Amino acid sequence: MKYLITGLGNIGSEYDGTRHNIGFDAVDALCKKLDGSWRNDHHGELAEVKHKGRTLILLKPNTYMNLSGKAVRYWLQKEKIELENSLVICDDLNLVFGKQRLRAKGSDGGHNGLKNIQEILASDAYPRLRIGIGSDFSKGKQVNFVLGKWSEDERAELPHILDKSVEVILAMTTIGITRAMNVLSK
């Protein structure tokens, strides 16, 4: 069994440590846990890792957030991976900081990366893991908040949040998405 696990984010050092790049952070944590290593490849950085007889293709698109669909489609086709064996990880303003939600399909919820993926794939039937970044910003400051760096308190919580993300991703690839949803409620 083969899976494509895509973390959404923006390339460039100016985006490192920002809320919008938590998808990158999650796949980085997974790659580290499974002793993988990144390489530059077509449309992004790629790592191939193994877990319990499964091959996980980890992807950090270099297309920038709003054009992520191009990279996702390319690697799904190249690796001959079914849509239900993919997972997209992204930030979510509508979830409190640290809360995570795993779904088999759904709307883009106003997230431009998910919107582009749905347009390119012509489907919303792909699994996604949303990680809450909160919404502690004043009116008109959403972009600054999303592209802003984590606060000191948030940064202290990130390792625990990313450990939970890794646990959920591995559960999805071994016991299926429905049962993996229960991992989040623990």
* CATH code for the structural domain at 2-184: 3.40.50.1470
Domain-wise residue ranges, the chain: 2-184
The SS3 assignment for 121 reads helix
Gap between the terminal Cα atoms of the chain: 27
Q: Read off the pLDDT of residues 158-178 as tens digits, 9 standing for 90 and up.
A: 999 999 999 999 999 999 999
Looking at residue 122, its pLDDT comes to 96
> Does 143 score more than 90 pLDDT?
no
Q: Read off the pLDDT of residues 31-69 as tens digits, 9 standing for 90 and up.
A: 999 999 999 999 999 999 999 999 999 999 999 899 999
Looking at residue 50, its pLDDT comes to 97
Q: Read off the pLDDT of residues 79-137 as tens digits, 9 standing for 90 and up.
A: 999 999 999 999 999 999 999 999 999 999 989 999 999 999 999 999 999 999 998 88
Q: Is 20 a catalytic residue?
A: yes
Element (H, E) at 24: helix 22-33
Q: Rounded CA gap, 183 and 26, in Å?
A: 16
The SS3 assignment for 52 reads coil
